[in-house]
């Protein structure tokens, strides 16, 4: 079972992604964070297998948080999520090291596990 942290500055989106993770037999929600700084602290403490990360957050955005997180915990798989599509997102999304990207509109258990397992959309597409 893969341990997961959900990171999103919007409480409703964080709860929805957390509920999605809890609905899976192969994923275990171990924490959630409302900011990039909180995500870094939580990830270093809990050492999750997967981090579901919102791209657009105030202060430390998901792209920079992903870079910092992977420099400290290189084996973590980061799945970026956002309301936009890849082409509409900040330039760093393609080279921050994330395992992939799923738009929040398309965030389902299937799309999430596809990226986690390396079968889904990558941030480079």
Does residue 62 sit in helix, strand or coil? helix
The CATH superfamily of 2-116 is Response regulator (3.40.50.2300)
Reported as a single tens digit per residue, the pLDDT across 59-95 is 999 999 999 999 999 999 999 998 866 666 677 777 8
Beta bridge partners of 100: 79
**DSSP assigned state of 121:** -
Q: What is the pLDDT of residue 118?
A: 83
20 membership: H or E segment, kind and range: helix 11-22
Reported as a single tens digit per residue, the pLDDT across 33-45 is 999 999 999 999 9
pTM, entire model:
0.92
Any idea where the domains of the chain sit in the sequence? 2-116
């Amino acid at each position: 079972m893969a341990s997961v942290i959900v990171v999103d500055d919007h409480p409703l989106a964080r709860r929805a992604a957390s509920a999605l993770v809890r609905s899976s037999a192969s994923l275990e929600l171990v924490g959630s964070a409302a900011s990039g700084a909180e995500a870094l602290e939580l990830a270093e403490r809990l050492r999750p297998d997967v981090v579901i990360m919102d791209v657009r957050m105030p202060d430390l955005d998901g792209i920079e948080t992903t870079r910092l997180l992977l420099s400290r915990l290189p084996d973590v798989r980061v799945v970026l999520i956002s309301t936009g599509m890849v082409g509409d997102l900040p330039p760093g999304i393609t080279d921050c090291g994330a395992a992939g990207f799923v738009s929040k509109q398309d965030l389902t258990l299937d799309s999430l596990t596809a990226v986690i397992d390396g079968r889904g959309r990558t941030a480079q597409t």
